[in-house]
Structure 1
Amino acid sequence: MTLSAERVSRAAGGRLILDGVDLSPRPGAMTGLLGPNGSGKSTLLRLLAGVLAPASGVVTLDGRPLDRIGRRDVARRIAVVEQQADTQVELTVLDVVRLGRIPHRRAWAPASAVDEEAVAEAMARTGLTGQADRLWHTLSGGERQRVQIARALAQRPRELLLDEPTNHLDIQHQLDVLALVAALPTTSVVALHDLNLAAMYCDHLVVLSEGRVVASGGPAEVLTADLVAEVYGVRAEVTGTGPGGRPHVRFLGTLTSGPTGG
């Protein structure tokens, strides 16, 4: 068993952000969370991480309600990569990645050989080995994102939650990051805007619209021209010409505009 959200709802400012959402990521698989801005993706990820509590419904981990599990135990299992992270403290890349080991260490205890091995492995997998001494505030947005992913991997989590991990990354690094996440032996939930990247790398897709799940299933099942029109207000052509026969979405224009051409 792994993470599961059952009929979760959450409101803020008098507005219902999530309305009775169910989500049960497949163990060891990569689930893509899709939907336009304001659909509730980030809020759902925070509920899964235990950062927010649902107004109704329950989030469970291995069948146990998340709010009945100690924060350290949750942190040892679940790693989170937010859209943006910043600090005024002068930290190096190595310092930031080492933060991922905090849930596994007792207070004031020095890093163990296992800690250092996990950190080195995470930096190698994200291509940061040669940048250990660089200062955080000198990094570009894309470089910071890679460091945050390395920090999450250093936790050696069984569940990994990522909120738009490809933001600020060029195309090569978008592909590298998602290929890395897809190859991990973790249960991953990844919020994405790019439908074609989701189709390429995700095993399962869940689409949110106005706080509700409107579609879930495999990429070929979920990504249809009708769904793109309904959820995004965009005319599209969906073919099975992507890598491995996965669907590819070609956008033709908004529903209120003419063809874009090309």
Structure 2
Amino acid sequence: MNDSDRLVATDGLSTEGGLRAERVSREVGGRLVLDGVTIAPRPGETIGLLGPNGSGKSTLLRLLSGVLAPSAGVVTLDERPLARTGRRALARRIATVQQNAHTQTELTVREVVALGRIPHRRAWAPMSAADLEAVRGALERAGLTDLADRSWHTLSGGERQRAQIARALAQEPEELLLDEPTNHLDIQYQIDLLELVAGLPVTSVIALHDLNLAAMYCDRLLVLRQGRVVAEGTPSQVLTAPLIGEVYGVRVEVLAGSDGPVVRFLRR
């Protein structure tokens, strides 16, 4: 792997702007759940986070979003520590999409998407023309225009995830963080959602379980195990049979495909 193919510069953080994490750790109850992780996505890239359950993917995303503070190391946005950046300023730059979203309030899809405009509005201020256009554009991009007036509670799982993507788009972020958004979705919805995310003009960091989907839609991958980075690079560099066996404890063969490596799982 040459220097230009690495997610992280060998001498630390890049001097470019954007969202960066430098040797971040997170301790919970005396146990390290994340240990010295560095990640520095380039503008416009889709970075996939891989690893078994408990490897630290969700914790890393929460550190990148500013929801959690690192026990050691630093997360920066345009070279400024997140801890010194106001919550409203962060929300204007960084949008997050969780695995599942629930609400007891009766909201339409349009109203859910409009929640993404809160960081751009004063308290109790009505929606401006710019807000309305951002919501309209987000609905269109997510393919939800025809469902805009439907109740959130009547949507399928895939449609709800699209609505959450649209809500994030309405924030007009430059960075998008997604925590296993394809979980519990039919294959068609998984592909549709990742096609949408990969085509967005933003920098995306997305936690995934499906190795083949990660190979198809991510520019680069970072693999975690027990809170530490064990591999990083392009899908072809990272997704090898020895590494998958080491990290996941399964036998596989990796084939060359038109959209990247294809992982075929073998019986024990």
**Quick one: structure 1 residues 227 and 211, their matched pair in 2 at CA, closer, same or farther if it must change by over 3 Å?**
same
Show the counterpart of 2:80.
Answer: 64
C-alpha displacement of 1:168: 2.7
Q: Which amino acid aligns with 2:62?
A: R
* 1:136 correspondence with 2:158: no
Show the counterpart of 2:239.
Answer: 223
* 1:9 correspondence with 2:29: no
Show the counterpart of 2:7.
Answer: none
Structure 2 unpaired stretches of 5+: 1-16
* 1:205 correspondence with 2:221: yes
- C-alpha distance in structure 2 between counterparts of 1:176 and 1:137, whole Å: 21
Runs of 4+ in 1 over 3 A off after TM superposition: none
Q: Which amino acid aligns with 2:186?
A: D
- C-alpha distance in structure 1 between counterparts of 2:107 and 2:199, whole Å: 29
Show the counterpart of 1:176.
Answer: 192
Show the counterpart of 2:11.
Answer: none
Q: Do 1:78 and 1:160's aligned partners in 2 also have CA atoms closer than 8 Å?
A: yes
- C-alpha distance in structure 2 between counterparts of 1:115 and 1:180, whole Å: 22
- C-alpha distance in structure 2 between counterparts of 1:242 and 1:101, whole Å: 39
Structure 1 unpaired stretches of 5+: 258-262
Matches within 5 A, 1:1-262: 1-243=17-259, 246-253=260-267, 257=268
Cα RMSD (Å) of the superposition?
1.0
Q: Which amino acid aligns with 2:244?
A: V
Which moves more between the two structures, 110-119 or 28-37?
A: 110-119
Q: Which amino acid aligns with 2:96?
A: V
Q: Do 1:163 and 1:191's aligned partners in 2 also have CA atoms closer than 8 Å?
A: yes
Which moves more between the two structures, 137-146 or 107-116?
A: 137-146
1:88 counterpart SS class: coil
C-alpha displacement of 1:165: 1.3
Q: Which amino acid aligns with 1:87?
A: T
Q: Do 1:93 and 1:131's aligned partners in 2 also have CA atoms closer than 8 Å?
A: yes
C-alpha displacement of 1:179: 1.3
C-alpha displacement of 1:126: 1.3
Q: How many residues align?
A: 252
Percent identity for Structure 1 against Structure 2: 72
Q: Do 2:49 and 2:224's aligned partners in 1 also have CA atoms closer than 8 Å?
A: yes
C-alpha displacement of 1:142: 2.2
1:240 counterpart SS class: strand
